[in-house]
Every structure is written in structure tokens, then in C-alpha cells.
Amino acid sequence: MNRIKKIYVFIIIGLIVICTFIFEPFRSEPPTPKITTGKTVIPTTQGSFCWDGPLFTRCVDKIYSSPLEMAKVHKPMKVSPNQEIRIKFKRKPLAGTLQVEEWRDKKNIKNIKVKDAKILAPKEKGVYIYHVMANWKDGSGNHAFSIEVK
């Protein structure tokens, strides 16, 4: 009987540890945005961040020198001109803090208007990098993704 109690205690402790790392309230990093166009999910790359989690606070510096480097992790997603791109977080950022920059190269960077957590792909063909930045009461984070307008 004593052995069975030890097994139950081990299982309960294991479940607590797993839940701590899986469930959103216990995250120690900013939420990852789900970027979609239609039913297609566009992969993102996480940049540097600072986050005040329930167990500890941490700042993480990623190796990327710019959103251009971050976006190289994934192939650009092919989209149509003016196609709607949605930016959704499981946990909404603080009001007014969601910002998006469009990068063509290090010299061609512009702020993009975000309306209802949506942006539009450009009209002109080419590869575009998007840098998504947001703040929460627990910290801030940024992600990058790329598209190719066909």
C-alpha cells in the first residue's frame, strides 16, 4: 500500500509540473501571435523579450540582429495583393500597444496601420517582412513573419 501512495504522489507532482509549463497563466514569456490569412497560418519567429512570470522574471536576448534575420527562419508565405492578414493573441495586448512594421530591407521600414488586429498585404509584388510588437502588463515581446505577394 505504501508503494501505491508513492506512485500517486509522483503522478500528482508530475501533473503539477506539466500544467505549470503548458497553461497560459504560468507562461514565462509573451504570448505568440497566430498570424493567419484565410485559413492559412503564417509561421512566426520570436524575438527578444522581457516577461514577469508567476514563478520568475526573465529577459531573453535572441541571436537575431533584426526582423530581417528573424524572418529568414521560415519561407515567406505566398499571398495575393491586398489580402487580409489577421494577428491574434490568446491574451490580448494592452490597448494601443500592438504595432507592426513592414521591412523590405534595412533602409525601407514603415509603420503599418493595424485595424481590428488586421493588416493588408501590399499591392506590389515582392517579399515583405513584418515585425509585430506588443506589450502586456507582464512585459513585452516581438515576432517576425514574411510574405511573398504574387
Can you give the pTM of this predicted structure? 0.81
Which bin fits 139, alpha (ψ -120 to 50), beta or left (φ > 0)?
A: left
Say if CB 114 and CB 100 are below 8 A apart. yes
Q: What pLDDT is recorded for position 140? A: 96
Q: What pLDDT is recorded for position 19? A: 54
Task: Please check the confidence at residue 147 and state whether its pLDDT lies above 60.
Answer: yes
Summarised one tens digit per residue, pLDDT across range 60-107 is 998 888 999 999 999 999 999 999 999 999 999 999 999 999 999 889
Task: Please check the confidence at residue 127 and state whether its pLDDT lies above 70.
Answer: yes
Summarised one tens digit per residue, pLDDT across range 11-57 is 777 666 665 555 545 558 899 999 999 999 999 999 999 999 887 78
Q: What pLDDT is recorded for position 58? A: 87
Q: What pLDDT is recorded for position 12? A: 73
Task: Give ∠ CA 43-136-64 in degrees, rounded to 5.
Answer: 45
3-state secondary structure of 107: coil
* CATH architecture observed for domain 28-149: Sandwich (2.60)
